[in-house]
A and B are shown apart, each in its own frame.
Chain A
């Protein structure tokens, strides 16, 4: 009897397994072909010197990577990416949290603001880029005009035209675009905090600040970790706005790894070198994500 029961159990598991494969299969196939394969293909191409427009390639081993390590512009773009990571994490997430908390409050008209605050995230990146290019226009743009109107004309700059201000101007636009996303993400996280905990704290005479730091924040940590991972990885891969607003200029002041890779691949006809840049980006993002997630697991297990 036991033999029969275990055989039946095994059969059930087998048929369940097959059933699962049948459902996951198509998606897994698509994922493997369009995500996994290109990663390996990129690494493969990075070992060659290839123009990208012909069928012949020359094997050069790790020479592209050696060149990468010596490359000044790559160093600059890596620096810009790191700057973007810190700026994003330290701006978008706290701001998003502030907005999420604000939305939770019972101030009149908050529901309208929920839509309003979310709008930047819905706009196409190219539209945002062109919009902000007009705002930053040194002669006609709203920003410089406004500064003049409030008497701060000395602060006027050609925001996108000068290497010293260009990166910051673009970072500001990026933050404007993505803060709403974190607002929504953290709002969902906030919603997961049981109302009773906060009620109990209030009854016990807890100040709002204390209840925020002692109850809300700790319970939000998983969501915050997710937000951090997303923000960091996103910043390491970022391309869109920089490409449209400045193309990585002026004078490589806003160059990112992704824009550098793009130029190498499609302007310089150096597909091999560009693939090396791309592989580097992937490895970096992977290491960072793995670090954050494992640190989080360490924390979740209570530091064991």
Chain B
């Protein structure tokens, strides 16, 4: 080879090797993060100090899913925490809901979990607890700071595994103006609801919006109807195998009422193919092509960031009673979100507990209530936001808070519950068949 050619090929070799080393190095430190597609939605890991100079700083990672105003408030709190603790650096990463559900198990399995992570308590968190991945917080945080229903959802076998920050209540969000124009009041009974449905249907307006591609919005209907028909204990009885099963007549009747609503044309067209996260149901309310939607309380946050002008028309009412049913019309379906837990593999347990207390503190909870229209799980918060005040009232009156089924059931049954419910809405399954499938699964999985 000539001199220049030799040089050239030498340079190429060097580039190749450096490229290889760089790729390996980058991959190594990236560790548990999943490939490019699921990078966190925020532009960069917020709240990490730009010039992390000394290697002496203790590093904590926090994974959360909150968006909009809630994300800002969390990041603010993290920053305050870092200012108060100069020796601790916190990397707070926001990950969208569905991506998060994949990312966390992968991180756990890959032995590279974040120090603090979000969950909704219940069955999903229990999976991680059973796998020995969650730190026992009993004795390290004070459960008296939190609402009993909220802290209980993260307590298993008498041990506390998470601290709650906010509650999520499921209510009807509706267009007050359209109701007024038709002289309608929020329904007290299911028959009232049917009358309202008929009124709007006659005008060619879809009464109820729903985006059920991800299956959980439809499940909200099933949970409420089962509660209103079968009483507060219907789910607990079936789940804990205490007499009634998932094939109880209450569940069958629930399926029938759902299909009655579908047959009546109560819902917008093609709801089983619409995606909630990209706003495909909310757009119906914004454009006044639908009047109401049964959803979780983050609806308010969404309206505020997507169509602030709609907020003055927005009202809320609780799920009506079903005549002849055994349930209380004050019962609420809801969950706790976020619940923050600490990984059992964290290198700095004491610091992690400090951070946990900061992000489930009364101060942050108050800010959540004031700016994000959220009902919090922390005691002692005063509500000024009009929606938060209303929701808090409903919460105070409620004697029972029914958690979402898919947060409590073991994963296989949770998926079956969502699948059968979506099939009920799509009328590809009979109410009896749906109930039977759930009971068969329960016998197989829960009767151990």
Q: Which of A51, A139, A252 has the most CB of B within 10 A?
A: A139
Q: Which of A23, A136, A268, A271 contacts B273 (CB 8 A)?
A: A136
Asked if B214 is at the interface (CB within 8 A of a chain A CB), the reply is: yes
The answer to whether A161 touches B106 (Cβ under 8 A) is: no
Whether A161 touches B271, Cβ cut-off 8 Å, given contacts A51-B131, A246-B213, is: yes
* Interchain nearest-CB distance for A125 vs B (Å): 9
Asked if B275 is at the interface (CB within 8 A of a chain A CB), the reply is: yes
Q: Which of A22, A266, A270 contacts B101 (CB 8 A)?
A: A266
Asked if B17 is at the interface (CB within 8 A of a chain A CB), the reply is: yes
Whether A30 touches B20, Cβ cut-off 8 Å, given contacts A251-B419, A251-B422, A269-B105, is: yes
Q: Which of B105, B270, B280 contacts A159 (CB 8 A)?
A: B270
Q: Which of B131, B206, B268, B415 contacts A263 (CB 8 A)?
A: B415
B408-448, CB under 8 A of A: which get 1 and which 0?
00011001000100110010110000000000000000000
Complex CA distance for A202 and B373, rounded to whole angstroms: 76
Interface residues on B, range: 35 or more
Asked if A250 is at the interface (CB within 8 A of a chain B CB), the reply is: yes
Complex CA distance for A166 and B426, rounded to whole angstroms: 13
Whether A137 touches B270, Cβ cut-off 8 Å, given contacts A247-B214, A249-B213, A266-B105, is: yes
Complex CA distance for A267 and B108, rounded to whole angstroms: 14
The total of chain A residues at the interface (CB under 8 A) is 39
Complex CA distance for A266 and B412, rounded to whole angstroms: 11
A139: nearest residue on chain B (CB-CB)?
B269
Complex CA distance for A55 and B133, rounded to whole angstroms: 10
Chain A residues whose CB sits within 8 angstroms of the CB of B274 once the complex forms: 137, 160-161
B420: nearest residue on chain A (CB-CB)?
A251
The answer to whether B133 touches A162 (Cβ under 8 A) is: no
Complex CA distance for A137 and B272, rounded to whole angstroms: 11
Asked if B302 is at the interface (CB within 8 A of a chain A CB), the reply is: no
Asked if A133 is at the interface (CB within 8 A of a chain B CB), the reply is: yes
Q: Which of A30, A157, A250, A266 contacts B272 (CB 8 A)?
A: A250
B277-296, CB under 8 A of A: which get 1 and which 0?
01010011000010000000
Q: Which of A54, A157, A159, A271 contacts B133 (CB 8 A)?
A: A54
Tell me the dominant secondary structure on chain B's binding face. helix
The answer to whether A250 touches B422 (Cβ under 8 A) is: yes
The answer to whether B273 touches A162 (Cβ under 8 A) is: yes
The answer to whether A269 touches B127 (Cβ under 8 A) is: yes
The answer to whether B105 touches A52 (Cβ under 8 A) is: yes
Asked if B70 is at the interface (CB within 8 A of a chain A CB), the reply is: no
Complex CA distance for A267 and B103, rounded to whole angstroms: 11
Complex CA distance for A268 and B412, rounded to whole angstroms: 6
Complex CA distance for A26 and B419, rounded to whole angstroms: 47
Asked if A53 is at the interface (CB within 8 A of a chain B CB), the reply is: yes
The answer to whether A252 touches B270 (Cβ under 8 A) is: no
Asked if B132 is at the interface (CB within 8 A of a chain A CB), the reply is: yes
Chain B residues whose CB sits within 8 angstroms of the CB of A133 once the complex forms: 275, 278, 280
Asked if B102 is at the interface (CB within 8 A of a chain A CB), the reply is: yes
Chain B residues whose CB sits within 8 angstroms of the CB of A225 once the complex forms: none
Asked if A211 is at the interface (CB within 8 A of a chain B CB), the reply is: no
Chain B residues whose CB sits within 8 angstroms of the CB of A157 once the complex forms: 270
B93-110, CB under 8 A of A: which get 1 and which 0?
000000001100110110
Chain B residues whose CB sits within 8 angstroms of the CB of A267 once the complex forms: 101, 411, 415
For window 110-151 of B, CB contacts with A under 8 Å fall at 127-128, 130-133
Asked if A158 is at the interface (CB within 8 A of a chain B CB), the reply is: yes
* Interchain nearest-CB distance for B98 vs A (Å): 9
For window 368-409 of B, CB contacts with A under 8 Å fall at none
* Interchain nearest-CB distance for B96 vs A (Å): 12
Complex CA distance for A30 and B23, rounded to whole angstroms: 10
Complex CA distance for A252 and B284, rounded to whole angstroms: 26
Chain B residues whose CB sits within 8 angstroms of the CB of A159 once the complex forms: 270, 273
Q: Which of B102, B272, B289 contacts A139 (CB 8 A)?
A: B289
The answer to whether A160 touches B132 (Cβ under 8 A) is: no
Chain B residues whose CB sits within 8 angstroms of the CB of A234 once the complex forms: none
- Given A160-B270, A251-B429, 15 other A-B residues pairs in contact with their CB atoms under 8 A: A54-B132, A133-B275, A137-B274, A139-B270, A157-B270, A158-B271, A159-B273, A161-B272, A162-B273, A246-B273, A247-B214, A249-B213, A249-B422, A269-B411, A271-B109
Q: Which residues of A contact B (CB under 8 A)?
A: 22-23, 26, 30, 51-55, 126, 130, 133, 136-140, 157-163, 166, 246-247, 249-252, 262-263, 266-271
Q: 7 A-B contacts, Cβ less than 8 Å apart? A: A138-B269, A161-B271, A161-B272, A251-B423, A251-B426, A263-B415, A270-B412
